[in-house]
Structure 1
Amino acid sequence: MHKLILLTLAAAGTFLLATGALVATGLHDQLAQADMIVVPGNTIAPDGRPSPRLQARLDVALKQFRERRSPRLFVSGGTGKEGFDEAASMASYLRKQGVPDSAIIEDNQGWTTEATARNAATYLRSHGLQTAMVATQYFHVPRFRLALERAGIAVSGNVHAPYFELRDLYSVPRETVAYAVYYTKP
């Protein structure tokens, strides 16, 4: 019984350390030049606009675009349960913020983090480009970087959306588990 308690405490301690490392990494922005900024999709509001969480991702990516860290914004997502094409909604939001069509790449096949990474890599390779910057929630940054790197993309930097909500209490530990699964995946 004593060994079981020690093992349980060790597992819990390891999980807490990993979660702390994930959060610290995600909150540490790395500003750099990139061929494109990749923004993964998320919930669309009932009126078809990006949810506040997704808008925060777009706004942080838009800031990097306006500061000329990248000439392109790659917005990726699928059609969520709300019935809206996430990529189209994201692109529409960016256009309303003054981003020209020529700077927006829409990927409506980004159903998962892995699919977004694969699609971004395909786009980069087909256009002779190499680097990407990540723009997402802080807890998603490490796994998204890993997915992009595994897809063959040189990730030059990352920024996190300054948006925090009660849901993060679920999302952060979930992301710790998801990162471990991605990391151990062949």
Structure 2
Amino acid sequence: MDSTYFGVFPAFILLILWAVFIVRYRKDPRRLSNAILLFPLVLGSISLSINLLTSLVPGLGLVLVLVFLLAPLIYLVFAGALIHNGVVMWRREGPRMSNLLSLVAGLAVLGLPVLAFAILSINTWWAYAFAFVLFMSSSLAACLFSMLLLYAWVQAKFPSKGQGAAVVVLGARTIQGKVTPLLRGRLDRGISLYETASEPKPLLVPSGGQGGDEVEPEGVSMARYLQEQGIPEAQIMVEDQAKDTLQNLTFSDALVRQQKVEGRLWVVTSDYHALRAGFASRQLGLDARAFGGKTAAYYRPSAFLRECVAIVRDHKLVVGLLALPFAAVVIGALVLLLNYDQVR
């Protein structure tokens, strides 16, 4: 069989799968299954491109080998960046666990290989088994994180709008009735969507109840900021009861639909939270799309790691199915190790 067949056939399959992904994404980008499909598609496309380029560009194979040899250095730089971000978060936001996820992740990235080598030095079958389970668990976590990060980037770069009935801005903590920089990023993105929308202009719905340390509901503080930026009061509909994201979405949708307005909700939150907000709106059966407002760069790593944990929590069944191939490999390896130990 012609060797070119082994390049053309995978490319043909990839093109079909890319077409399937694009159709599914345009229909509804809020599906976790889209993220699951996209991840191997990107890996497959990169692999196919590398194979093609190495056959066309002399010396490229050597460059790729050098990059592969630098992988440990890249690994250390990645771990160091996470640890540095964790320290910055500690200093700026306080030592709450939710702010230290990047620090914990960086220490884990550095510590797990050391732990694995220490376990392997015991030189027993159960030590090898434990080290392999550790490796496969880490691989699953890395795949999940990479998959969600990639899909969050795709959603941010290729938003799906449609006709907007209302721009719903999800609330966040206010200080003495003033919006924080994080909340201002959400509101400014909401204003941008409102101003670029076609006529008739969508409603603007600042959504958020009153926390124990707040002087008024977040929705009220947000509405004041919107008016200060020149948004007509008649276009603002305050939602001031919600305590979490699900209530933000549910209560805001109810307010908007009472006005008999046609179109979908444009849900605006922080960029790191947009992916989960979109998933949540789909689970609630709402016609909505999520958009991310600008967030300080130092805040994103820990915040997105927190979102990944929450997405896994909210989609236990799907994540469990994704873990099955990893579990099958682990079980197979354990059986081989046990049989080898018995024979020895």
- Identify the TM-score tier after normalising by the shorter chain: 0.7 to 0.9
Contact kept? 1:36, 1:74, Cα under 8 Å: yes
Aligned partners of 1:9, 1:146: CA distance in 2, in Å?
A: 25
Q: Could you tell me how far apart the structure 2 residues matched to 1:91 and 1:40 are?
A: 12
Q: What is the Cα deviation at residue 67 of structure 1?
A: 1.6
Which of residues 252, 259, 267 in structure 2 aligns to 1:134? 267
For 1:80, give the aligned amino acid.
G
* Residues 29, 159 of structure 1: 8 Å contact kept: no
Q: Report whether the alignment pairs 1:121 with 2:253.
A: yes
Which range is displaced more, 108-117 or 119-128?
A: 119-128
Corresponding position of 2:280: 147
**Selected match of 2:149 from 11, 15, 20:** 20
* TM-score, with structure 2 as normaliser: 0.49
In structure 2, give the amino acid aligned to 1:36: A
Q: Equivalents in 2 of 1:76, 1:25: separation in Å?
A: 26
User: Rg bigger for which structure?
Assistant: 2
Matches of 1:122 and 1:159, distance apart in 2 = 20
Deviation at 1:184, TM superposition (A): 4.3
Equivalence for 2:195:
66
Report matched runs for 1:9-88 at 5 Å.
9-25=138-154, 27-28=156-157, 30=159, 32=161, 33-45=163-175, 47-69=176-198, 70-84=201-215, 85-88=217-220
Structure 1 residue 20, shift from structure 2 partner? 1.6
Output one character per residue of 1:72-119: Cα deviation in whole Å (capped at 9) or x when no partner.
Answer: 111111212431311000000001111112111111112100111111
Cα RMSD over matched residues? Answer: 2.2
Partner of 2:310: 178
Higher fraction of strand: 1
Whether the 8 Å CA contact 2:179–2:225 is kept in 1: the answer is yes
Q: Closer, same or farther in 2 for the Cα pair 1:18/1:31, shift >3 Å?
A: closer
Partner of 2:23: none
CA distance in 2, matches of 1:102, 1:168: 34
Q: Which moved more, 1:74-83 or 1:56-65?
A: 74-83
- For structure 1, the residue ranges without an aligned partner over 5 or more in a row are none
Secondary structure in structure 1 of the residue aligned to 2:238: strand
Instruction: Answer yes or no: is 1:92 the counterpart of 2:221.
Output: no
Matches of 1:31 and 1:99 in 2, distance apart? 24
Q: 1: distance between equivalents of 2:167 and 2:158?
A: 13
Say which structure is richer in helix: 2
Task: Give the equivalent residue in structure 2 for 1:111.
Answer: 243
SS at match of 1:106: coil
1:15 Cα deviation from its structure 2 partner: 3.2
Q: Residues 57 and 137 of structure 1 are in contact (CA less than 8 Å); yes or no, is this contact kept in structure 2?
A: yes
Equivalent residues, number: 183
Structure 2 unmatched runs, 5+: 1-129, 318-344
Aligned-pair identity in percent equals: 22
CA contact (8 A) 1:77 1:108 kept: yes
Distance 1:60 1:29 in 2: 16
Write the deviation string for residues 25-70 of structure 1: whole angstroms up to 9, x where unpaired.
Answer: 453252633000111001213x421101101110111111112354
Deviations 1:114-148 (A, max 9, x none): 11111122223333334111211111111111222
